[in-house]
Amino acid sequence: MKRIRLPFVIILLASVASITATGAHAKVLRSQDETATVFVFKDAYALDRFSKLSGSAVSDPSVVEPLLTCKVPQGSKIIVIGPGYRTAFIRVTDGNATGCEGTVPVGNIRDQ
């Protein structure tokens, strides 16, 4: 009889648990101002810096892009990895930005 290695079993069980959990609590990203894309920031510090930008700086890609890990369309499916009071660390699970991880305001996270 062939023995199954313990690390393989642990990875398999973790994968099944992850799939089950994400299916039961599907979340999506929505921008608060109903723009076509939602910004995913590198971290809470980058999000804070963005919120302090003046109106003209917000529309300047050379100022905003260094703060972001990705931009995703409205309704992109996500997994909340690290929930917080004002921000959450998320992973995008569909679309062109699949695998992108970063910080968003909790107001941008909605139930599917």
List, for residues 64-88, the tens digit of each pLDDT value.
Answer: 999 999 999 999 999 999 888 899 9
How many Å apart are CA 67 and CA 70, to the nearest integer? 9
* 9, 62, 77, 99, 112 from 23: Cα distances, Å: 21, 37, 11, 17, 10
pLDDT of 2 reads 59
Beta-carbon contacts of 8 under 8 Å, excluding residues fewer than 6 positions away, are none
Mind listing the pLDDT tens digit for each residue in 26-43?
789 888 787 889 999 999
- The pTM score is 0.74
Residue 3 pLDDT greater than 80, yes or no: no
The 3-state DSSP composition of the chain as helix, strand, coil percent (nearest 5) reads: 35, 30, 35
How many Å apart are CA 42 and CA 50, to the nearest integer? 11
Domain 26-111, CATH class in plain words: mainly beta
